[in-house]
Amino acid sequence: MTATTADAPPPDLRLPKRRGVELLLLIGAVLISVYGYAAVGLARNGAVPPDVAGYGAGLGLLALLAHLAVRFRAPYADPLLLPIAVLLNGLGLVLIYRLDLETPKDQAAPTQLIWSTLGVALFIAVVVFLRDHRVLQRYAYLSVAAALVLMIVPIFFPAVNGAKIWIRVGGFSFQPGEFAKILLAVFFAAYLAANRNALAYTGRKIWRLQLPTGRVLGPIVAIWLLSVGVLVLERDLGTSLLFFGLFVIMLYVATGRTGWIAVGLLLAAVGAFVVGSFEPHVHSRVQDWLDPFASIDAGRGPGQLAQSLFAFAAGGMLGTGLGLGHSILIGFAAKSDFILATAGEELGLTGLTAVFLLYALLVARGYRAGLALRDPFGRLLSIGLASILALQVFVIAGGVMGLIPLTGMAMPFLAQGGSSVVTNWIIVALLIRVSDQARRPRPDHVETGVIAPMAEDEL
Amino acid sequence: MIRYIRRAAALLLLLLVALLLNAARIQVLDADSLDDNPANRRLTIARYSQPRGNILVGGRSVTGSEDTGEQLKYERTYLHGPLYAPVTGYASQTYGTTLIENAEDDILSGTDSMLAPLPLWNEITRDRQPGGNVATTIKDSMQRAAYDGLGGRRGAVAAVEPSTGRILALVSTPSYDPGRISGTGSSVTDAWQELNASKSQPMLNRAIRQTYPPGSAFKIVTAAAALDADVVTDPDDETDTPSPYVLPGTSTTLPNEAEGCEDASLAEAIRVSCNTVMAELGVRVGLKGMVDAVRRFGFNDTGLKIPSGVAKSNFDTEMSDDQLALSSIGQFDTTATPLQMAMVASAVANGGDLKYPYLVDRTTTRGGSTVHRNGPRTYHRAMSQQTAMQLRRMMVDVVDEGTGSNAAIDGVTVGGKTGTAQHGIDNSGRPYAWFISWAQAPDSAQPAVAVAVVVEDAAANRADISGGGSAAPIARAVMEAALRD
């Protein structure tokens, strides 16, 4: 399949591009964000914030530029992806602005707006300059090398709040691990697309499990060691979990071997148990998860997790309303790791469910693109990227709601954090790119033999 | 591959369901218990998010609420804090509430469901109403007269309206400004520590929470018991009592300060305050009779509330006769709050019908419509009407020609009784000076006021500290304020 043939399908096979729908949804997303911004001002000062028009115009302009890039460079892309990203990013800005009101000395929203702008710029750059996602396949080993460097560098920088995941240069700080996850997804997709048959059909069978051979087991053990290494050296349980979960999911999708899942879960359990027992930073979080109210009983007042649970509870079904909650009681991580608690308190279970469904929709659209694509690399890439979002949402949301031990991670688009926002915009750009490929009308006369061999289950 | 993608998607869907179920668990199922967790600051923040209702004296507010712009927004302020502290108590963001601030907290903080325009309104809207007001029964001029009279000496004054039980003055000195501990922070904790460490115990509400041996002032109760039990039939008849009196079963003798107490009549014994006569009369009434009598005045009642709890005034229920003799003159284990002694005077003044004392006249919404109004209730019939009449005359004699002459007011019927209570090991402490009294204007059908005054300290000599010297002038000032209108 070549780009020229794909660009010129017969007119009668043309799928609706839905760019108009996207534009309407974008307008809706911007209006909802502006409404939220105004609601915070009304609740707190009894007046609409004076800069609401500027804020709306800024967000609207970003959305419009992104839309134009998609319209002209990826006309067949899924129309839901961009509006969801804009809505989540806008909502995140509203929540951070709202929390800024409680911390007059520490204003995070302006910085976040700058990073969001940079994120959208990179989104546009990816959509404009990356004409075909399959180009990335060529850079698989360069990607993994870059990812390793990015992950190793923070070890040489001092720990911030207990985790060594930051690089500080001048006034700026960013988490290289955030970028590494995209690079790793690209590498996994390329590696698995190339080796899936070898991974799926070799190795001994013990009872009902098809176990992999030592040669192909090498990479999975390497990845496991990498994530444990990240965990121990950087004290970053979240990233470690994310990398490992991502790898297991992509491996399973590529090979369909439940044996991999079993091995993966086993390794994860061993790693988590060992680290959870002996590494003090992680150990304390497990203790917190098991009994969030222990510090209250000990007379030291509620800890972060207890405060987070209080915030969610205070929201109830319908929430207190934007600007009217007290989630700032959570303390220093309220705008970053715990931002979901503000959503839970001020928007209630209703709003929280809506937020979760937005993420679910984003992930589902990524999976859908994966299903529709024909090349294994693109498939695995879109599944991988969507799974990054899904795992990240689960790990951090489950953490702040006491479902699983807390791991320091950013809620995609919502949380304060420049590297996170920029990375997520790149992920959405890549999803736009693959979905454009997936939905592009396929001239069926060019096929067979050009496409990579298919597994038997696709027939 | 499609099958595995679908399975992976199903796994992620499972995670989503887990998140949603967990969110519902926290935000709906566990929400109430999390909301009510004492470590959850939200209740406190909500509590101080609106101005607190006010406490009124004579229709004017003696409290206020100040917007601090902090997380706990409104802080309590007090006008004439030390003067009214024994009435209002404090409402502190750090240390909670006491007295009226505590007893009427639901009204003042706006959570009382009676403040809502409709039943269940608060429950439905999850809002609270604006704080309501609490109008006290205190009369400003009397409160000031009592406070100024004590002049910073350790002591207390309680004054009630005999016909209704309304508490007209409630003073404890030295006092403190509750506004100092309203907020949070180091200035508040410092003030709290200083107030608690102070030897003069400024935060102790001596009028209702401190008990003192009532000394001779208690003889009114013993006299009432003797008359009601027909141990004495005519108060002017000679009693068969020696002076000094040897306490039954011991060789200890009880002396008199006064002259001419041997075989003195009950009236004379009250007028000049004979220990011997009253001690023996108490023994003649007997333990059971005395315990019954004191109970009708309010002694040994642990449940008296005005609406804050009043400390129990004590009269032992198991004693030997010598102990009963001492108890009958207000010594041994007999103790009373100033309010209790005001109730004793009030019972006599009101013909034996003792009204339940109360401090809150009515509670209103912020707008002023009444939520609840208190009225007179009979507490006990403390003595027969005839006994009360006889005691009234005897108490008037105390003021007209006895130990209580300092309480006399021109043209006004004033009855009183002095007391000087020994206390401490071997009576080494400085005695407490008591005066209980009542006053009735000549053109009035009912006594206007009953007062009890206790003055604790004083470096003065023994004679000056007697009830007639130290306490009676304060009582007179309070009664004069009550009669002025």
- Max mean pLDDT range (A275-284, B113-122, B306-315): B306-315
Q: What pTM was computed for the model?
A: 0.74
| Structure token digits, residue B69 | 């712009």
Reduce the DSSP state of residue A348 to 3 states and report it.
helix
Closest to A407 measured CA to CA, from A154, A150, A165, A223: A165
Task: For chains A and B, count residue pairs whose Cβ atoms are closer than 8 Å.
Answer: 128
Q: Does residue A64 come out as left (phi exceeding 0), alpha (psi in the -120 to 50 range) or beta?
A: alpha
**What DSSP line would sit under B75-103, residue for residue?**
EEEETTHHHHHHHH--EETTTEE-HHHHH
Q: Which residue has the higher pLDDT, B140 or A231?
A: B140
Looking at residue A422, what is its pLDDT? Answer: 94
| Residue of chain A nearest B30, judged by CA positions | A313
Q: In chain B, whose CA is at the least distance from the CA of A292?
A: B34
> In Å, how far is A368's CA from the nearest CA of chain B?
9
Q: Would the CB atoms of B2 and A371 count as touching at under 8 Å?
A: yes
pLDDT in tens, A276-317: 777 777 788 888 888 898 888 887 888 889 999 999 999 989
Instruction: Assess B124–A contact: CB distance below 8 Å, yes or no.
Output: no
Q: How far is A25 from chain B (nearest CA, A)?
A: 24
Inter-chain touch B8–A252, beta carbons under 8 Å: yes
| A394 contacts in chain B (CB < 8 Å) | 12, 15-16, 18-19
A-chain residues near B21 (CB < 8 A): none
pLDDT at position A170, please? 63
Q: How confident is the model at residue A377 (pLDDT cuts 50, 70, 90)?
A: very high
* pLDDT tens sequence across A419-430: 899 999 999 999
For residues A63-82, one letter each, b for 16 or more C-beta atoms within 10 angstroms of the residue's C-beta and e for the rest, the string is beebbebbbebbebbbbbbb
Residue A4: what pLDDT?
44
Task: Answer yes or no: is pLDDT of A381 > 50.
Answer: yes
| DSSP code, position A415 | S
pLDDT (tens digit per residue) in A260-275:
778 777 877 887 788 7
Which residue did the predictor score with more confidence, B450 or A451? B450
pLDDT of residue B320: 87
Higher per-residue confidence, A334 vs A425: A425
B20 interfaces chain A, CB cutoff of 8 Å: yes
What residues of B are labeled active site? Answer: 216
Smallest Cβ distance to A401: which of B11, B23, B41? B23
Contacts of B23 in chain A (CB under 8 A): 312, 344, 349, 352-353, 356, 401
If you average pLDDT over residues B101-130, what whole number do you get?
A: 79
A6 pLDDT exceeds 60? no
For the segment B78-84, the average pLDDT, to the nearest whole number, is 92
pLDDT band at A14 (very low <50, low <70, confident <90, very high): low
Only one residue has tokens 């519902």, namely B24
Q: What region does B332 belong to: left with phi over 0, alpha with psi -120 to 50, or beta?
A: left
Q: B378 at the A interface (CB within 8 A)?
A: no
Q: What is the pLDDT of residues B27-79, one digit of tens each?
A: 999 988 998 888 888 888 888 888 999 999 998 999 998 888 888 889 999 99
Percent pLDDT > 70 in chain A is 84
CB–CB of B103/B91 below 8 Å?
no
For residue B246, what pLDDT is reported?
84
Say yes or no to pLDDT of A12 above 60: no
* Contact between B37 and A310 using a beta-carbon 8 Å cutoff: yes
**Mean pLDDT of the A207-235 span:** 68
pLDDT grade for A450, boundaries at 50, 70 and 90? very low
Best residue of B2, B21, B27 to probe chain A, by most A CBs closer than 10 Å? B27
Strands B378-381 and B413-421: unpaired
Q: How confident is the model at residue A58 (pLDDT cuts 50, 70, 90)?
A: very high
Look at residue A319 and tell me whether its pLDDT is greater than 60: yes
Alpha carbon of A150: minimum distance to chain B alpha carbons (Å): 28
For residue A297, what pLDDT is reported? 85
Per-residue tokens: B398: 């105390």
Residue type, B195: L
| Alpha-helix residue ranges (DSSP H) falling in A49-101 | 52-73, 81-100
Name which of A302, A360, A402 is nearest B16 (Cβ-Cβ). Answer: A360
pLDDT at A5 exceeding the cut of 50:
no
Higher pLDDT, A3 or A66: A66
- How far apart are the CA of A142 and the nearest CA of chain B, in angstroms? 26
Structure tokens at A402: 């006491």
d(CA B43, nearest CA chain A) in Å: 10
The ipTM, to two decimals, is 0.89
Q: Quick check: B16 and A349 CB within 8 A?
A: no
> What are the respective helix, strand and coil percentages of chain A, to the nearest 5?
70, 5, 25
Q: Average pLDDT, whole number, for chain A?
A: 84
Binned at pLDDT 50, 70 and 90, residue A447 comes out as very low
- Nearest CA to B178 out of B81, B275, B311, B267 is that of B81
Confidence of residue A206 (pLDDT cuts 50, 70, 90): low
Q: Which residue of B has its CA nearest to A359?
A: B16
Mean pLDDT of A24-33: 96
Chain B residue with CA closest to A369: the answer is B5
Percentage, residues of chain B above pLDDT 90: 42
Q: How high is the pLDDT of residue B364?
A: 92
Q: Residue A398: its chain B contacts at CB < 8 A? A: 15, 18-19, 22
For residue A449, the model assigns a pLDDT of: 46
Burial letters B45-66, b for 16+ CB under 10 A, else e:
ebbbebbbbbbbbeeeebbbbe
Q: How far apart are alpha carbons B397 and A133 in whole angstroms?
A: 112
Nearest to B420 by CA among B396, B405, B409, B404: B404
Predicted confidence band of residue A459 (pLDDT cuts 50, 70, 90)? very low
**Nearest residue on chain B to A328, alpha-carbon basis:** B71
pLDDT in tens, B395-447: 998 888 878 778 888 888 899 988 887 765 555 666 788 899 999 988 888 89
If you measure CA to CA, which chain A residue comes closest to B3?
Answer: A457
| pLDDT tens figures, A95-138 | 999 999 988 888 888 899 999 999 999 999 999 999 899 999 99
User: Is A383 in Cβ contact with B8 (below 8 Å)?
Assistant: yes
Give B129 or A357, the one with higher predicted confidence: A357
Q: CA–CA separation, B479 vs B141, rounded Å?
A: 10
Contact list, A314 vs chain B (CB under 8 Å): 31, 34-35, 40, 42
Q: What is the reported pLDDT for B207?
A: 92
Is the model more confident about B407 or about B281? B281
Q: List CB contacts (< 8 A) between B10 and chain A.
A: none
pLDDT at A208: 62
DSSP class of residue B413 equals E
What pLDDT is attached to residue B473?
87
Over range B204-213, report the average pLDDT: 91
Q: What local confidence, expressed as pLDDT, does residue A211 receive?
A: 63
Q: Does the CB of B9 have a partner CB in chain A at under 8 Å?
A: yes
Contacts of B285 (CB under 8 A, 6+ apart): B222, B225, B226, B229, B231, B293, B328
Could you tell me if B257 and B291 are in contact, meaning their C-beta atoms sit under 8 angstroms apart?
Answer: no
Amino acid B77: pLDDT:
92
CA distance A249 to chain B (A): 7
CB contact under 8 A, B39 and A306: yes
Q: How many residues does chain B have?
A: 485
Across A152-162, average pLDDT: 74
d(CA B250, CA B269) in angstroms, rounded, equals 23
